[in-house]
Amino acid sequence: MLIKDLLKEFTFELQIKNYSIRTTETYNYNTTHFIQYLDEFHEVNEIEDVSTVHVKNIFNIN
């Protein structure tokens, strides 16, 4: 599944759970930046291809 499609589902889930607009926007902002990072630096677009290494690298954790 494409990560950007998963973000749409996540956003919809937040709306269903009645999260505030501000919270939803913040989650989307942060998640969108993470998706851009995955695409630009690791060429990852599928959720199945994301690994713990990708997440650790964004925070420079080794």
Number of domains in the chain: 1
Entry pTM: 0.81
Determine the pLDDT at residue 62: 52
Determine the pLDDT at residue 61: 58
Q: Which domain holds residue 26?
A: 3-58
Residues in the chain: 62
Low-confidence ranges of the chain (pLDDT < 70): 61-62
Which token pair is 57? 């690298």
DSSP letter at 2 equals B
CA separation, residue 39 to residues 21, 25, 49, 60 (Å): 26, 21, 11, 17
